[in-house]
Amino acid sequence: MTTNVPAVDTHVAEPTSGRKNFLNCSSGFMSWAGTLDHKRIGLMYLVGVSIAFLCGGLFALLVRLHLWSPEGALFANADYNQIFTLHGAFMVFLFVIPAIPGSLGNMVLPLMLGAKDVALPRLNLLSFYLWCSGAVMATLAIILGGFDTGWTFYAPYSIYTDKAVVSIGLGIFLLGFSSIFTGLNFIVTVHKLRAPGLTWFRMPLFVWALYATSILQVLATPVLGITVLLVAFERLYNIGIFDPRLGGDPVLFEHFFWFYSHPAVYIMVLPAFGIVSELVSVHSRKPLFGYKLIAFSSLAIAIISFLVWGHHMFTSGQSTYAMFAFSFLTFFVAIPTAIKEFSWVATIWKGSIALNSPMLYTLAFLIIFAIGGLTGVILGALNVDIHLHDTYFVVAHFHYVMMGSIALAFFAGLHHWWPKMFGVMYNETLAKIACGIIFIGFNTTFLPQFIMGSRGMPRRYATYVPEYAPYHHASTIGAVILGLGIALMVYYLVASLFSGKRAMQNQWGGVTLDWHTPTPPPLENFDHSPSVTTEVYDYSVLDLETTRTPAS
Amino acid sequence: MSASNDNAGHGHTASGHDAHGHGELQMGHHHVSSSAMFLNVLIALLILTAITVGASRIDFGSANLLIAMAIASVKASLVIAFFMHVKWDTAINKIVFLSSFLFLSLLFIFTLADQATRRMDDQALTTKTPVDKQWVHPSTLAEQKQ
Amino acid sequence: MSHDGHHSVVIPAPGPEFQSHTVAHHFDTPVQEFQSAKLGFWLFLATEILLFGGLFAAYFYYHQMYHETFHLGGQQLDWWLGALNTSVLLLSSWTMAMGVRSAQTSQKGKLLMYCGLTVLGAVIFLVIKFFEYKAKNEHGLIEFAHLFDGYNGATGQLSWFTDHDGVMAGVPHGHLFFAIYLTMTAIHGLHVIIGAGLIVWIMKGAAKGRFHAGYYLPVDLVGLYWHLVDLIWIFLFPLLYLVS
């Protein structure tokens, strides 16, 4: 072992089996429900967001099956409105926004910083329970009659509908504060709990990405909070500011909503960028190309994302002058995003690429995100968007980003840190097959939607003219394939917990601090507080012995 | 993001960190302000309150709102700098708090600019079919034009 | 507690009437603990600014849209009571600042006294606010008994805004000013109540001697919260009471 490596020589100092880790150091319901340990909270988040994802996926399948026939195969039109609203609301608020920061971020961020925990562990547990209460409120809203406004809750319809909008609105308020507190915690942790020697430019890029995400969570989410409260007030005592009958302006609602929800797109996607940045480096065993560029582009995206929200409102009745400005500013987002995409590809170039399942998911991300990102540039153009607004082109675009990019990056991260979290390996063969099925299923679902959207198929309609039937058929078949792929993934991941092979201490040969602690990590993460003397992603210090030593 | 007071890594000790001279077993960074200063700030705030009331009694036209906001901003700055101790706080805490106002101003600027320039749109549209000076609900404008 | 013999850091009490403070296990130094909590709290205050900011944005939006409504609406409020309440909050902000100072200098009795005065300020503020609401209720500008009775689309009648004196008759959508006035002052009032509750909690800890020169973090944070409540009112006062 070289002197450069942080002094956590796990495989020498301790017997490798039977030592206590965060999973088995205590047991019983309260040792989990009342835990302050970031790793256990991360795992609880993982269970929660996975359930939300499977629910949201089920709703998506119902939507796709309904659209098999032009007159709608399964539901009455009003019920269809509820199903796609549930799909959107569950996926956005309960899964995509909290998924990566809540589960993988919580698990990995303190490890990567060499800290014992996040800076504010009680607040961390509180944000998990806020997430839970948000989920309860969402479920309660379904019981109380559902909601049919779409996940965007546009006024004035959200004021007039007789569905349970107040309940889901309060749910989103709680989920918003859950997200805020996670972001707040991460910012403080990054500022105050870095190990000695871990300077800003030695931090892994996943940490940088989470840091940029946290800024957005803290600064944008409160506006969503007040917006849903104001909608609730509209319904409770007709405050009137979003209600045109009372002199209010529904466009103001859209301003408020997108002031949050556009940055929220980056709350969702920046952590995914972070995971991809980590994984392309580790699985190519090569330092990242353009480390500082990627780090600063995360911050640049965070800032620019506050200036472009009006591009969601090109057909809202917003002033033409505002639309010019918003459309113009939108193109600037493409610059830091493209910097990232090129840097990742340049990192892989001539690397020692290992096509492990996490890397396969990452490569799938790179392809899908290129399509998702570039179609976003098309939609940012004012005149083109007037035509494409509220068509399936938009649906396909944001699914290429949210499902194809963010969910796939989440899967990639999950496969990457799975051996770290549990000390076991899933079936790699099945994982590679599942990745292929998911990639094929995803593209079969959403590529046809670009075409039918550009030909005028509006989103959110329960029925359609028969000319669109072939595209809808292809899309529905793709959705079923995608569902099967995800079911296979869930199967082998869960099975690995019961019958998986022992993972290695350092399964993939990573050199960031998260791989310099025993696997699975002990309660306070490090046996000895680490200090850092080497640059980040310096694979010359990798101790290959750790990649051959079984996890404890 | 200077390393001096921002990067409180594990190895730091309390005493090597702060100019105000205290032992290692204290919290650090406590600037104790004098009672006299607090009293002066309070008096200034009360005087400014009287001024803002007085200014509102005089008609400056549309400048009244601006004047009121300017005085309120001065008062707020006094509270932030002295009562909230921001004057002596770390750089990062200053950045955090002030950036909230910066990002809030983005919300103000874009929404208000949209609203204001939309009226320019309306006027351009209504010159051909002039509406009388009575107030008209925006949603009924389209009907009236037909 | 952990493997490498790490033991907790304890800040000793400065005197017999005070308690010592144990630094949380995942921090190495008291400075780290203090700065972490403080940075976290500033971030929280930033979220409060943006949350209220949405309401202020709505205010400016409709002020720009219906300025006669806002001018006439502002005239219906009692600027004298508004100015009085502003002074009460400014005074309470001063007592809070003095309270934090007393904690920093380990003056237990003074800390309790200043906190008590701050709570008194909060109570006076709320009582004055109550009488203001009562007056609006009597003039039919905000009828609290009918607040949740809804809007009748056929008659165009809003249940809580009857305006039976006709003071807002000449301007469009007179209720908008009062809706925004009610929402902003009610949410602000809620913050006053929460802040007062937190100060009472501080007083309980102070009576036990938890806060002193070595450890006054909770006093400091609650103080910041209280100043924020004051800060928001500094802007609310001219916007609501003095726009006429």
- Domain positions in chain A are 41-547
Question: What is the structure's pLDDT at A149?
Answer: 93
Question: In this model, does residue A485 exceed pLDDT 70?
Answer: yes
- With beta carbons under 8 A apart, name residues in chain C contacting B36: none
B92 vs A191, A256, A322: nearest CB: A191
How much is the pTM? 0.91
Instruction: List all chains that touch chain A, counting a touch as 3 or more CB pairs closer than 8 Å.
Output: B, C
d(CA B21, CA C44): 29
Question: What is the structure's pLDDT at A1?
Answer: 35
A239 and C CB contact within 8 Å: yes
CB contact under 8 A, B107 and A259: yes
- With beta carbons under 8 A apart, name residues in chain A contacting B3: 199
CA dihedral B89→B95→B96→B102, nearest 10 degrees, is 140
Q: Quick one: what percent of chain B has pLDDT higher than 70?
A: 62
- With beta carbons under 8 A apart, name residues in chain C contacting B83: 93-94, 96-97, 223, 227, 230
Residue A301, CA distances (Å) to A165, A171, A267, C149 in order: 32, 28, 10, 46
pLDDT tens-digit readout, A487-533: 999 999 999 999 999 999 999 999 999 999 999 999 999 988 899 99
Q: How far is B146 from chain C (nearest CA, A)?
A: 23
CB A512 within 8 A of CB A538: no
pLDDT tens-digit readout, C87-143: 999 999 999 999 999 999 999 999 999 999 999 999 999 999 999 999 999 999 999
Q: Are residues B94 and B141 in the same domain?
A: yes
d(CA A92, CA C185): 32
Choose between A462 and C1: higher pLDDT.
A462
Q: Quick one: what percent of chain A has pLDDT higher than 90?
A: 92
Domain that holds residue B58: 32-89
CB C100 within 8 A of CB C166: no
Q: Which residues contact A296 (CB under 8 A, 6 or more apart)?
A: A336
d(CA B29, CA B19): 8
C183 vs A218, A233, A255: nearest CB: A233
Question: In this model, does residue A110 exceed pLDDT 50?
Answer: yes
Alpha helices, DSSP H, located in A305-406: 320-348, 357-380, 382-388, 392-399
Q: Are residues B96 and B50 in the same domain?
A: no
Q: Are residues B2 and B16 in the same domain?
A: yes
Smallest CA–CA distance from C173 into chain B, residue: B137
Region label for C200, one of left (φ > 0), alpha (ψ between -120 and 50) or beta (otherwise):
alpha
Number of A/B CB contacts below 8 angstroms equals 76
Across the range C38-59, mean pLDDT stands at 96
CB A275 within 8 A of CB A206: yes
d(CA A105, CA A186): 9
Question: What is the structure's pLDDT at C153?
Answer: 81
Q: How far is A220 from chain C (nearest CA, A)?
A: 8
pLDDT tens-digit readout, A372-428: 999 999 999 999 999 999 999 999 999 999 999 999 999 999 999 999 999 999 999
Across the range A208-232, mean pLDDT stands at 96
C142 and A CB contact within 8 Å: no
- H or E stretch including C152? strand C151-152
pLDDT band, residue B124 (cuts 50/70/90): low
- How many domains, chain B? 3
pLDDT tens-digit readout, A331-362: 999 999 999 999 999 999 999 999 999 999 99
CA atoms within 13 Å, Cβ hemisphere of A481: 19
Q: Which among B89, B109, B127 is the end of a domain?
A: B89
CB contact under 8 A, C50 and A249: no
CB B124 within 8 A of CB C74: no
Class of domain A41-547: mainly alpha
Question: What is the structure's pLDDT at C62?
Answer: 95
Paired strand residues for A391: A458
Question: What is the structure's pLDDT at B136?
Answer: 53
pLDDT band, residue A194 (cuts 50/70/90): very high
pLDDT tens-digit readout, B74-98: 999 999 999 999 999 999 999 999 9
Question: What is the structure's pLDDT at B141?
Answer: 54
A260: its two tokens = 């949050």
CB contact under 8 A, B118 and A255: no
pLDDT tens-digit readout, B6-46: 333 333 333 333 333 343 345 555 678 899 999 999 999 99
Q: Are residues B117 and B136 in the same domain?
A: yes
Residue A94, CA distances (Å) to A47, A230, A318, A372, A396 in order: 12, 21, 30, 22, 21
Q: How far apart are the first and last CA of chain B?
A: 60
Smallest CA–CA distance from A216 into chain B, residue: B103
**Strands annotated E in C20-138:** 21-22
d(CA A286, CA A353): 9
A168: its two tokens = 């889901």
Q: For Cα atoms A315, A317, A321, give the angle at the middle one, nearest 5 degrees.
A: 95
* Peptide linkage before A156 cis (omega within 30 of 0): yes
Instruction: List all chains that touch chain B, counting a touch as 3 or more CB pairs closer than 8 Å.
Output: A, C
CB contact under 8 A, C158 and A230: no
Question: What is the structure's pLDDT at B120?
Answer: 75
Question: In this model, does residue B143 exceed pLDDT 60?
Answer: no
Q: Are residues B96 and B109 in the same domain?
A: yes
Question: What is the structure's pLDDT at B101?
Answer: 95
Identify the structural domains of chain C with CATH numbers, from first to last.
48-141+165-241 (1.20.120.80)
pLDDT tens-digit readout, A284-328: 999 999 999 999 999 999 999 999 999 999 999 899 899 999 999
At A147, phi and psi to the nearest 5? -150, 145
CB A56 within 8 A of CB A95: yes
Reported ipTM: the value is 0.94
Question: What is the structure's pLDDT at A314?
Answer: 94
- With beta carbons under 8 A apart, name residues in chain C contacting A255: 57
C170 and A CB contact within 8 Å: no
Across the range A154-168, mean pLDDT stands at 92
CB A230 within 8 A of CB A239: yes
Which single residue is written with the structure tokens 């006709």? C166
Question: What is the structure's pLDDT at C148?
Answer: 93
C75: its two tokens = 């005239």
Q: Are residues B144 and B100 in the same domain?
A: yes
pLDDT band, residue B59 (cuts 50/70/90): confident
Residue A393, CA distances (Å) to A372, A378, A402, A408 in order: 11, 10, 14, 20
CB contact under 8 A, A319 and B117: yes
Paired strand residues for A502: A424
Q: Quick one: what percent of chain A has pLDDT higher than 70?
A: 97
- H or E stretch including C151? strand C151-152
How many of the other CB atoms lie within 10 Å of CB of A30? 9
* Peptide linkage before A520 cis (omega within 30 of 0): yes
Question: What is the structure's pLDDT at B62?
Answer: 79
